[in-house]
Structure 1
Amino acid sequence: MSKDLNLPNMSAGGAPGKSTGLVGRIGWFFARWVVAFLFISVLQVVIYKFVPVPITLTMLMDENPVTKDWTALDDIDRDMVAAVISSEDGKFCLHSGFDQDAIMQAFKRNAQGGRIRGGSTISQQTAKNVFLWQNGGYLRKALEAWYTVLIETIWGKRRIMEVYLNVAETGIGTYGVEAGAQRYYGKSARKLSPVEAARIAAVLPQPKKREVNGAGGFTRRHGNSIARRVAVVKNEALDACVYR
């Protein structure tokens, strides 16, 4: 003799139905958050294609008084552009935001131990400096990658270089190469010599620890090496994407 089986109502009223509804609401909330983030991030990048970046999280979190002076790329000496390409990203005009070779080399060096080194391009550094924070793990790197794709697509190389040279930290509490040029040499970034531009570029990886004036040891040698490569960058048109 058969007996009726009391099966749970999977569509409404029972616990499984409530669980499914909760999952659906969480999924809908997450989807809306993602769409909002995508919209806001694209809007940010579009605005900064035309408007100078007024402030960054790095500046806001700096414990020192901040000095900055937004300067158009046309008012920055070409030697400064060549110096940062030579120092920070020799393939700046050749990649689309990510240098796979540099990433793999950094991975191999880090696997051997010692000081952690990155493989970030100027585009990645710009994305991080403008839209994100300095420290962080996989989340920050994922967001950095997203913003890098956006600025490469929407800004282009010339605007990326212009923004980078205005937001990069060039000394304690000093942001941008114009503020750096005024601080160290008492002159405009338009009038920098190859050696002066190279010395500013040499401190970019560690602006709070390296000195431009009176630099010695590694910083001095690195600056001299960058100065020698400035002419190579220009002669081989490695900065062509900026001045085309």
Structure 2
Amino acid sequence: MASNIIRRVARLLAQAILWFVGLSLILVIAFKWIPVPVTATMVMDENSITKDWENLANIDPNLVAAVIASEDSKFCDHWGFDTEAIEQAARDNAKGGRIRGGSTISQQTAKNVFLWQGGGYLRKALEAWFTFWIEKVWGKERIIEVYLNVAETGIGTYGAEAGAQRYFGHSAARLSPDEASRMAAALPQPKKRAVINPSGWLARHGNSIERRIAIVQRDGLDSCVYD
């Protein structure tokens, strides 16, 4: 009797895993071509949602460079995971105090598209699964395009275009280095960080990102996006 129950549970578990693998790969393949219509973060947002999907060609390269400078300077070199950043974050977190992460743009994209916000070992494991596959199936250009369309850029605001319209009153197709750097500086905490007239540390952080935009573009740290 007990062995029958164990076999049944094992069979159901195997079926569930197969369904998950199949469905997740179908979604990854579909979103290589189809704009992501909605994410769990959007659904769970208590505010009214503003979003506007734009192709990467309609997003200013300054914003791409600003995001790479701010979030993931090795974006074009890693395979989805920055092991050095992860190890450094683990060392820093072990010391206590403010918790920091080592997530790449690829990991953040996987989380934003397929999963939910927050921590936990299960979510991190699923994030790694989806990160591996979007790197394999999408490639860098599509990853940054999706990231810049689903990332929260303000309260109830998602994507570069909606953010540019909200803060600057014009399209994301023409963002100055100053505008791009201020948007990038606010990305980690878009509900709390000011894009318009930032002050103190946030203003200095934005200025630092603006200086690094030129370095990203000069050194080709965004070259994988425009191959």
Alignment TM class, shorter chain as reference: over 0.9
AA matched with 1:158? E
Aligned-partner SS, 2:32: helix
Deviation, 1:20, is 1.2
**Does 1:213 pair with 2:196?**
yes
Matching residue within 147, 152, 158 for 1:169: 152
1:135 aligns with 2:132: no
For the residue of structure 2 that corresponds to 1:241, the secondary structure is helix
Matches within 5 A, 1:90-239: 90-239=73-222
Superposition deviation, residue 115 in structure 1: 1.5
Aligned counterparts of 1:173 and 1:195: Cα–Cα separation in 2: 23
What is the percent sequence identity of the aligned residues?
Answer: 63
2:38 counterpart (24, 32, 55): 55
Separation in 1, partners of 2:46, 2:197: 24
Larger Rg: 1
CA-based RMSD: 0.6
Which runs of no fewer than 5 residues in structure 2 stay unpaired? none
Secondary structure at 2:37's aligned position in 1? coil
Residue of structure 1 equivalent to 2:8: 25
For residue 75 of structure 1, what is the amino acid of its counterpart? N
Tell me by how many angstroms 1:22 deviates: 1.1
CA distance in 1, matches of 2:161, 2:95: 38
Find the counterpart in structure 1 of residue 71 from structure 2. 88
Shift of 1:113: 1.1
Normalised by the length of structure 1, the TM-score is 0.92
* 1:14-57: CA deviation from partner (whole Å, max 9, x where unpaired): xxxx1111111111110000000000000000110000001000
- Paired position in structure 2 for 1:69: 52
1:84-143 Cα offsets, whole Å, 9 max, x none, are: 000000000000000000001111111111121110000000000000000130000000
- Mapped to 2, the partners of 1:170 and 1:219 lie a distance apart of 15
- How far did 1:218 drift? 1.3
The residue type equivalent to 2:99 in the other structure is I
Q: Could you state the TM-score of these two structures normalised by the residue count of structure 2? A: 0.99
Whole-angstrom distance in 2 between the partners of 1:168 and 1:87: 14
Report the Cα distance in structure 1 between the residues aligned to 2:195 and 2:178, rounded to whole angstroms. Answer: 11
CA distance in 1, matches of 2:204, 2:88: 22
> How far apart in 2 are the matches of 1:117 and 1:59?
24
Matched residues in 1 for 2:96 and 2:188: separation? 19
Amino acid across the alignment from 1:161: I
Amino acid paired to 1:106: A
Higher relative contact order (CA 8 A, sep 6+): 2
| TM-aligned CA deviation for residue 217 of structure 1 | 1.0
| Structure 2 equivalent of residue 7 of structure 1 | none
Cα deviation per residue 1:72-95 (whole Å; 9 max; x = unaligned)? Answer: 000001010000000000000000
Q: Which amino acid aligns with 1:166?
A: N
